[in-house]
Homo-oligomer: A and B are copies of this chain.
Amino acid sequence: MNKKKEILLKIAQLLFTEFGVAEVSLRQIAAEAGISHSNLIYHFPSKNDIIIALHHQLMEKAIGLNKQVQAASHPLQGLYHSTKIGFTILYEYRFLMIDLPHILRDNKILHNTFLDLEKLRADMYLIEIQKATDQNLMRQELYQGEYTGLIERIKIFSDAWIASSAIYDSPENNNVIEKYIKLFMGFFYPYLTDMGRSVFDEVYFQ
């Protein structure tokens, strides 16, 4: 990726975050970058191209940083750390999440990428939960599909917390990430065994 393009993307990202994707025009981005409208178009023919490039950046970061947390001592710790990192990265690119339904509607490629990624994540959660039940950290299902349902709820939460934050949290609040990580971890608590809870407390309150 070109140095110049990265600067332009950074500016676009900041504007999108502050005003929303729909409210920012290519001309505004160009003005903010101190270049001409035509020049911006030379680099990114349309707003969609900018969004795709930013989305690509996000994916790269997510993959890169996730490698650091492969070796977790137990499932709950891995869950906690990958959540923390994932949420932090996502928050940087929160304009994507706030506009998610629109962006994906307008963009078949991103939509498919997104669906693939979500599928991977769902599988990952299923494996982690499986590990946790094997190690007697989480209890067995009380009914068929209980944990599948949990994962569905988790997915919705993961996609939605940023939009929710935009509605409920004041812009000055800079503890939002912690707040939503805590809420996220709360999803698992009622499924934990006694042993699971003591491990959980240990991980969570280091």
A163 touching B163 in the complex, CB below 8 Å, given contacts A149-B182, A189-B146: yes
Interface size on A, residues (CB 8 A): 38
CA gap between A179 and B190 in the complex, in Å = 22
Copies in the complex: 2
CA gap between A20 and B103 in the complex, in Å = 12
Q: Do A100 and B156 touch (CB < 8 A)?
A: no
Confirm or deny: A164 has a beta carbon within 8 angstroms of a beta carbon on chain B: yes
Q: Do B114 and A167 touch (CB < 8 A)?
A: yes
Contact with B along A10-36 (1 / 0, CB 8 A): 000000000010100000000000000
**Smallest Cβ distance from A112 to chain B, in angstroms?**
12
In the assembled complex, which residues on chain B have CB atoms less than 8 Å from the CB atom of A146?
186, 189
Q: Do B153 and A186 touch (CB < 8 A)?
A: yes
**Smallest Cβ distance from A142 to chain B, in angstroms?**
7
**Smallest Cβ distance from A114 to chain B, in angstroms?**
7
